[in-house]
Structure 1
Amino acid sequence: MGNNYIFSLTPTFTQGLVLGQLSILVLLALVLKYLFFIPPESETETITFHPLSKSNPSWHQDVEEDDINGAPEKESAHWFNILARQVVEVYRAKLQNNLTGYEGIEVARRKIEDHANELRPRGFLAIFVHNSRLQQDHITIHSVDLGMSAPKLSNARVVNDSDGDTAPMTIEFDMSYTDTISVSLSTSYLFNYPMSSFARLPVSLTISLSLFESKVTLVPPSPASAAPVLTISLPQDFTLNLKTTSLMGSRAMLRDVPKLHELIEYQVRKVLALRGTWKFVLPGMGSLATAQHDVEKEQAASNEQG
């Protein structure tokens, strides 16, 4: 009867092979059940994963939509404010020849005085000089305050004003600048009528900045441009508060003439409006002459529309 049993105390090779296969199947079933599967009565959220190949055109579209829709409307520009402050500090240091104290301020004063006299009579102090009967004298800078602060940006946001999908989007910031920057100067106007140097009108001014607020618009370069440029511009509806103290005359002096304050602020606004756009050519993407040619074409087109 012992020959009727499949297994015996001394298993054969075939019996050992069958037992080994069965034990592996049982172990695999236990691993799948308790490590990967869940009981049917439990509730859980199923996470699906659909990998996208980068060759799929929808991959770029999904990434752009996530960047636009998922980004907050207002983003902190603290990192840029730190960078801007360092840049302003470098300009202050170079204007003072890396000197500090009175020596540095004196170097900056002389540089500003030389530059102001190079610009006259085209500067804002030459608001009355339009014929040979009135001539502006030498400008003397008595003191300057280069300030201690820097412009601060906030509320970075993406503005899509373009009609087409290929046009670059616009990034806007809110900028605020409050500082102690000021300049004190004196000059005089020579009246050449009815004879040369007939009379001289002394003028002393102190101009200080109270507040400057504006939006800053950043336009990324366009791939269709021959010389792609990064454009930073200021709109013309900025807020500018200047504090001006003035003395006009020799013996009988006129103090703080309102009309003079209005004319000075008008000239400063005019300069900012005319020079409030900066274009930076991308390295290796074109020459400065090509970018200048494109700017002239844009200005001519805007003048024709105006």
Structure 2
Amino acid sequence: MASLSTDTCPAKAEPALSFTQGLILGQLSVVLVLAAFIKFFIFGDPPSPEVTASLRATERRSRTLAHKRSLLSLRTANAKQGQQTLNRKKSSVLRNPPNLTIGSILSKTYYNVDSHQPESLDWFNVLVAQTIAQFRSDAQHDDAILSSLTKALNGGSRPDFVDEIRVTELSLGEDFPIFSNCRVIPVDEDGLSLGNGRTLDASAATREGAKLQARMDVDLSDMLTLALETKLLLNYPKKLSAVLPVALSVSVVRFSGTLSISFIPSNPSQSTPTMMTFSFMDDYRLDLSIRSLLGSRSRLQDVPKIAQLIEARLHRWFDERCVEPRFQEIALPSLWPRKKNTRGPEDGLAETNASVGRAKGKDINQDLRAEARREVEAEAGTRTGREHDSLRRRRMRSEDDFAMPGSLPGLDIDMRT
């Protein structure tokens, strides 16, 4: 029986490591993984700005080329068919102008896109500088931009684990953008250049949907700063179990790129106004300076990975809004002269008089009250003088002394004194 039990119940193999040794080995592996993560992910050296800018430019360029290829593939033979127009009765008074194309516009303005030299836009830089200077001056005396920015940061898109965001610093800079090297380029309805580096074809200039696009270089070297403070609310395992203060400062140091501006004519059939579109080419460069501070007592300053994440998010935000093939549209008002928009010397004089009247209203009222007070005092003084003269005349008539009846004997009263 003993031999049978030995054969049916083999002895258990003892583990090579004890429980304590396995626990220690597991803890060491976790510590090593955390140390590697902190060293290479958080405190790792970021790539140089030149390498980062080159990688982003390559990515944007590949995205633009893919978009152009998709547009060319979607164009079919039926795109040459004319668009249907509304059967409206033409005016018998208004003369029908000839068909206006970009070729006729260029010829009538004596602009040769193949030989015309780029313009410097010095006058435009002065106008833009005056506009920006006025905007900065208004921002110094009004908290509208600060309140709007705070409201936008604390809007509905703010996560639940982020406390209220407070703006601690806002700098609008001191320098101005410089526009230069402006040139006019014919493009098709999709924004693709018609010349492609070659001489402009006359047939392409008369194609329907073609338009003119102005491209200019933009360069800004300044320090536009936005500093924020908030707290990260760690609600695990219970609500508000830990709070991590966070301070961030983002500064725009340099921006350079190519700005494209074009016009979309109005469409009476769809009641759409004339639109101005602008976008930036994919060769722009945006240099940022990001500072961070984590913690309250033991503070962690300028974490490289946080700077990389914020910079990537800002570049993506800019690319999704105004970098080709995306663009921004601005509706232009009507340029026909109107009476309500007329301003002149008479209006300026009337406004000046009204403002002067409002400013001097209180002074005029005070002067009127003071003059009335002086007249009342003068009239009161005249009345007092008359009473004094009449009293003096009565005294002159009573030259004799008289005695008051019932007075003591020998007591005389002189009424003149």
Fold similarity call, TM over 0.5: yes
TM range (shorter): 0.5 to 0.7
Q: Find the aligned partners of 2:115 and 2:104 in 1 and give their Cα distance.
A: 16
Q: Find the aligned partners of 1:217 and 1:118 in 2 and give their Cα distance.
A: 28
- The 1:61–1:77 alpha-carbon spacing in structure 2 relative to 1, beyond 3 Å, is closer
Whether the 8 Å CA contact 1:161–1:169 is kept in 2: the answer is yes
Whether the 8 Å CA contact 2:185–2:215 is kept in 1: the answer is yes
Alignment match, 1:32:
none
Q: Find the aligned partners of 1:144 and 1:151 in 2 and give their Cα distance.
A: 19
Aligned 1:80-229 pairs, distance under 5 A: 80-97=124-141, 108=143, 111-112=145-146, 115-120=149-154, 129=159, 132=160, 135-162=161-188, 164=204, 165=206, 166=208, 167-222=210-265, 226-229=272-275
Bigger Cα Rg: 2
* Residues 1:262 and 2:320 aligned together: no
Give 1:91's aligned amino acid.
F
Structure 2 unaligned segments of length 5 or more: list them: 1-96, 189-193, 195-203, 336-417
Deviations 1:223-251 (A, max 9, x none): 65743211111234421111111111223
Q: 1:242 aligns with which of 265, 279, 288?
A: 288
Structure 1 unaligned segments of length 5 or more: list them: 1-54, 98-106, 286-306
Whether the 8 Å CA contact 1:245–1:256 is kept in 2: the answer is yes
Q: Find the aligned partners of 1:170 and 1:237 in 2 and give their Cα distance.
A: 17
Normalized per residue, the structure richer in helix is 2
Whether the 8 Å CA contact 2:179–2:217 is kept in 1: the answer is yes
Deviations 1:123-176 (A, max 9, x none): 7xx6xx4xx5xx111222222222111221110011223254341111101111
Whether the 8 Å CA contact 1:154–1:175 is kept in 2: the answer is yes
Whether the 8 Å CA contact 1:208–1:242 is kept in 2: the answer is yes
- The 1:113–1:87 alpha-carbon spacing in structure 2 relative to 1, beyond 3 Å, is same
- The 1:122–1:209 alpha-carbon spacing in structure 2 relative to 1, beyond 3 Å, is farther
Deviations 1:192-241 (A, max 9, x none): 11111111111112222210111100012336574321111123442111
Aligned-pair identity in percent equals 26
Normalized per residue, the structure richer in strand is 1
Q: Residue 278 of structure 1: CA displacement?
A: 3.0
Q: Find the aligned partners of 1:150 and 1:113 in 2 and give their Cα distance.
A: 24
TM-score w.r.t. length of structure 2 = 0.45
Q: Find the aligned partners of 1:275 and 1:196 in 2 and give their Cα distance.
A: 37
User: How many pairs align?
Assistant: 213
Q: Find the aligned partners of 1:82 and 1:204 in 2 and give their Cα distance.
A: 37
Q: Find the aligned partners of 1:265 and 1:181 in 2 and give their Cα distance.
A: 15
Q: Find the aligned partners of 2:135 and 2:115 in 1 and give their Cα distance.
A: 34
- The 1:202–1:121 alpha-carbon spacing in structure 2 relative to 1, beyond 3 Å, is farther
